[in-house]
Amino acid sequence: MSNTPDKPTTDLPGRPDVVDLDTWRAAREELLIREKAHTREGDAIAAARRRLPMVEFDGTVEVVGADGPVPFLDLFQGRDELVVYKHMWYDGAPPQGQCEGCTTTAWHLKDAVYLNARGVSFAIVTTGSWDEVAAFVAFMGYTQPWYSVRDVPEPVGGATGYMTSFLRDGDRTFLTYSTTGRGTERVNGSLGLLDMTPYGRGEAWEDKPEGYPEGREPCWFWRSDAEGNATWGPTSRPVPQWTRPGATPVDTLGRTGPWH
């Protein structure tokens, strides 16, 4: 079953000029200059990020995971660095009623083997009660460690939809960096690939050639129905869920459900 729109079109209104390969290469090389400058600026920003001041906090504060309450220090798994994704949560909502953006982000973070090889641990935290969170994790088939930070203060708990980085020095713990909104996009490799396609993400805010298909609201393709049609309607659920066993069609809990 397809999980995204797959109806091809032979009508390409307003498409860019059709040229020979050498002309295309010249235009591509011109754009490459800007792309390289963008990469170098990203490197400079990353260097500045490594020099941000840190905030020390109590790493013994307890969070709740599959093994019950544990100190936040346990999330480091003996390593010095830790990246945490703070997943949004809607109390009482079944899987299809949970945040489609966070579901998409978490789906792209299923394996931390390369982070671990670099000495970095990864975990997901959320404000839901552990019994609800555990059921969601089991349904999605996630293998990364999840924890409930219900009623836990910042920087361990607090606002969700964030990517957050921490450093450990023995039993001392520090908040080093955090980002939300479009700052979390770099986790989602699918968005990067869509940015390389002719039509992009298909969202209204994108700058595209005149005559190209009009975009829709941001993230319109994050939810789909059982036939793979992107929709926020009452029969939709976050796209990754359709790959899970037991993800049967639903007729409630679309984007306008009571948890949103």
In the chain, domain spans: 55-184
**Phi, psi dihedrals of residue 26, rounded to the nearest 5°:** -65, -45
What is the structure's pLDDT at 13?
64
Looking at the domain that runs over 55-184, which CATH code has it been given? 3.40.30.10
pLDDT, one tens digit per residue, over 126-178 is 999 999 999 999 999 999 999 999 999 999 999 999 999 999 999 999 999 99
pLDDT, one tens digit per residue, over 216-253 is 999 999 999 999 999 888 889 999 999 988 888 887 76
Dist. CA 14–CA 8, nearest whole Å: 16
Q: How confident is the model at residue 193 (pLDDT cuts 50, 70, 90)?
A: very high
pTM score above 0.85? yes
Report helix, strand or coil for 125.
Answer: strand
Dist. CA 253–CA 167, nearest whole Å: 39
| Nearest to 238, CA basis, from 259, 210, 207 | 259
